[in-house]
Amino acid sequence: MYNASTIKTELIGLAGWRQNADSAGWQLTDMLTSSSGLWFNGVHPMLTIDNLISIAPRFQDVDPTQSVINTAFTTWLKRKTEDAIVKAVEDWVAEKVVVMTAGTLLSNNTLYEATGNLANLQANNGKIVGLEVVPQRSKNVIVKINQIGVQFNTNQTVRIYLFKSGRLTEVKHTDVVLPPEPGQYNGQPLTELSGEGSYFIAYNEDDITGQAINGVTDHTAMSAGVATLPAGRFFRTTAFQVSHDDPTALWDLRRTGTATIPTSG
């Protein structure tokens, strides 16, 4: 998995465009540097500024002011350049997959694989509770949570909050509407978690009715009620709880406590 916006930002300056030699013609206002020493219009003799102008929209018909033309032409060319960069990365990835020289670093699966028990309920203590997720401390790793869901023994709409260490207000929240049958699971998309700091996925127990169903303890016949939290090569998780009056603001992290998970019920 890769982020197209990040690829554009990081690679747009790797190669650059040489300025139009005709000082009276259209001029570029950006992309004039190259960190690698490579230039796009040095790749092929047909890839010239004049030829690019010939296929570009007729910006001079909109506004004949030279500075306006230069800005519009540069914006157009930058978009074309960014699109080409992403396409080159896509082609490279596809080729690596075909020859089997690329592999998936992280599988796309369900974090919790326990067999839950609808009778195993979590006590409601009026706190903010949830999971702390700590991605690997690296800017090259992104943990993506495709869906987050909850289970309760009563039907309701539960607001799930996402907090990040170092940020006083919530990153976002999403409302999960539980389906008609109590105990059923309903998932909603969340976000990507980058590699610095800790993230807290939580709900406020004061906002719910009934009790949460324990989805951590495995009730298969051979498990003996073992409770486990998901972890992987690039992240770890911890159940937490904290007394806090404002569920939309990050609390003093020194007050964060480890949540107690019942192992049977």
Contact (CB, 8 A) for 48 and 18: no
Residue 216 is classified by DSSP as S
**Residue 190 banded pLDDT, cuts 50, 70, 90:** low
Last residue of a domain, one of 98, 130, 161: 98
* 25 in any annotated domain: yes
Q: Is the same domain home to 195 and 249? A: yes
As a whole number of angstroms, the distance between CA 17 and CA 217 comes to 59
* 110 in any annotated domain: no
Please provide the distance, in angstroms rounded to a whole number, between the alpha carbons at the two ends of the chain.
40
**Identity of the residue numbered 29:** T
**Higher local confidence (pLDDT), 235 or 78:** 78
**Higher local confidence (pLDDT), 187 or 40:** 40
Last residue of a domain, one of 47, 65, 98: 98
* 45 in any annotated domain: yes
Q: Is the same domain home to 127 and 77? A: no
Instruction: Tell me the pLDDT tens digit for each residue of 14-50.
Output: 999 999 999 999 999 999 999 999 999 998 999 999 9
Contact (CB, 8 A) for 14 and 35: yes
* 214 in any annotated domain: yes
What is the full DSSP assignment across 21-51?
Answer: S-TTS---SS----SSSEEGGGS-TT--HHH
Residue 265, pLDDT above cutoff 50: no
Q: Beta strands of 4-110 (E only): which ranges?
A: 15-16, 38-39
Q: Could you tell me what percentage of the chain is helix, strand and coil, using 3-state DSSP and rounding each to the nearest 5? A: 25, 25, 50
As a whole number of angstroms, the distance between CA 129 and CA 176 comes to 16
* 263 in any annotated domain: no
Residue 74, pLDDT above cutoff 50: yes
Residue 263, pLDDT above cutoff 60: no
**Higher local confidence (pLDDT), 248 or 19:** 19
Contact (CB, 8 A) for 222 and 204: no
Q: Is the same domain home to 128 and 88? A: no
CA angle 166, 172, 178 (to 5 degrees): 135
Instruction: Tell me the pLDDT tens digit for each residue of 134-153.
Output: 887 765 666 777 777 788 88
Q: Is the same domain home to 127 and 234? A: yes
Structure tokens at 63: 């506004």
**Identity of the residue numbered 109:** N
Q: Is the same domain home to 197 and 74? A: no
Specify the pTM: 0.57
Q: Which residues contact 235 (CB under 8 A, 6 or more apart)?
A: 133, 134, 135, 136, 143, 193
* 112 in any annotated domain: no
Per the structure, how many domains does the chain have? 2
Last residue of a domain, one of 98, 133, 167: 98
Q: What is the mean pLDDT of residues 101-106?
A: 58
* 107 in any annotated domain: no
As a whole number of angstroms, the distance between CA 229 and CA 187 comes to 18
**Identity of the residue numbered 232:** G
Q: How confident is the model at residue 216, as a pLDDT?
A: 75
* 223 in any annotated domain: yes
**Residue 104 banded pLDDT, cuts 50, 70, 90:** low
Where does residue 114 fall: left (phi above 0), alpha (psi -120 to 50 degrees), or beta otherwise? beta
Q: Is the same domain home to 14 and 51? A: yes
Residue 220, pLDDT above cutoff 90: no
What residue numbers bound the domain in which 17 lies?
Answer: 4-98
Task: Point out the least confidently predicted range of 37-41, 115-119, 228-232.
Answer: 228-232
Contact (CB, 8 A) for 191 and 200: no
Q: What is the mean pLDDT of the chain?
A: 82
Q: Is the same domain home to 149 and 43? A: no
Structure tokens at 154: 């009563």
Q: Is the same domain home to 155 and 193? A: yes
Q: Is the same domain home to 53 and 126? A: no
Task: Point out the least confidently predicted range of 85-89, 95-99, 155-159.
Answer: 95-99
Query: Exposed, middle or buried by CB within 10 Å (0-12, 13-18, 19+), for 86?
Result: middle
As a whole number of angstroms, the distance between CA 137 and CA 197 comes to 7
Which letter, b or e, does each residue of 154-190 get, where b requires 16 or more Cβ atoms within 10 Å of its Cβ?
eeeebebbbbbeeeeebeeeeebebeeeeeeeeeeeb
